[in-house]
Amino acid sequence: MINKDKINRVLVYNQRGRMLLSTKSVSFPRDFFKIKGKDLVMLKGTDFPLISKGEPVEVIFEYFNGDRVKYNTLIDICTEYQINFHVGEGEVLQERRRSFKVMVDMNGLSPFYIRGEEMFAFDDPIELHIINLNLGGVFFSSTSGFEVGDQVMLNFLDGEMKLLIEVLRVQRNDSGEIEGYGCRFLDVNQTQEERLARFIFDCQVMERDRRRAVESNGQK
């Protein structure tokens, strides 16, 4: 089942595994020649490679939450600006990996935390330095002390994300000094999860581009 509103991009490969195109412009127009169990897909763009009608291709739908689903299909229509094809049942290539983390260097704010059944509000929101995060949680450092089981309100991404997190571990160095706190997100709704997934994806792209730049400079 295609989750049509949650697609991040679509990639098309030929039978030899060569990527022919990647686009975020995907739609599902009305299908006048309906094929049972299949959806008509239309990709829009510019400078698309010309692919012959009936040519087999492999199509991968990437979703904002990290899922990747592959479809084997045939080209219905292909022009420089549009490609149409039908897809039926897909193959899940990669389920959402909640454990995959990205390293970041950003700050968030916390107006309060909960310990036991008591809430403690700060006179002014304190700063939490976020070191890494994934879809399931976050690791941060702070000048304020927390304990395992504390629930901390975390505001980050310029106030877009306001999530309650639970401290699962307190990480210390060899000297016993606290390096940070490993936490899990509590009660994340679908919109928040999608925003996190987009942020993580953007971080991956930036890191990939950074590595390519380093490799390119090293070859000069």
Helix, strand, coil shares of the chain, percent, nearest 5, are 15, 50, 35
pLDDT at 84: 96
> What CA–CA distance (Å, rounded) separates 202 from 64?
11
What does pLDDT average to in each consecutive run of 10 residues of the chain (220 residues)?
82 86 90 86 91 94 81 94 93 62 91 94 96 91 94 93 93 89 88 85 83 75
Tokens found for residue 173: 């160095």
What is the reported pLDDT for 98? 53
Distance (Å, whole) CA 154 – CA 134 = 15
Q: Are 113 and 151 in contact (CB under 8 A)?
A: yes
- Residue 220: the pLDDT is 56
- A 10 A CB-CB count for 147 gives 11
- pLDDT recorded at residue 94: 53
Q: What is the pLDDT at residue 28?
A: 93
